[in-house]
Structure 1
Amino acid sequence: MSFDTVDLARLRGLSGGKWRRYGDDVLPAWVADMDFLQAQPLRDYVARAAATGDLGYPF
């Protein structure tokens, strides 16, 4: 899946209230949210950092 594609089924399956609050006939555009997937290199970096416990601030 491309990072700039909105998958409504995926969004409605997430834990955020924006996509779970209303039925399928409502497109909730009332709040900015993380509707787009993050770019894969960023997701990989965060996963590596979490896996190794390296979550400190870099200087």
Structure 2
Amino acid sequence: MLTERKADIDPHIDFLVITRPSARNFDMTKVRRNLVHALALAHVIEMPNENEEN
């Protein structure tokens, strides 16, 4: 899903993603946008600009 950002993620970092029940209704675009946002907030990747999120 985020293979285009794989090089940006330190291979020594492990993380666990826990979602809210409402996420089961998300399409893949929304899942990706939320995951990129969460990784950026955790300082795992840099915050993408608006064009990169889509």
TM over 0.5: no
Q: Normalising by the residue count of structure 2, what TM-score does the alignment of the two structures yield? A: 0.31
Q: Normalising by the residue count of structure 1, what TM-score does the alignment of the two structures yield? A: 0.29
Structure number with greater Rg is: 1
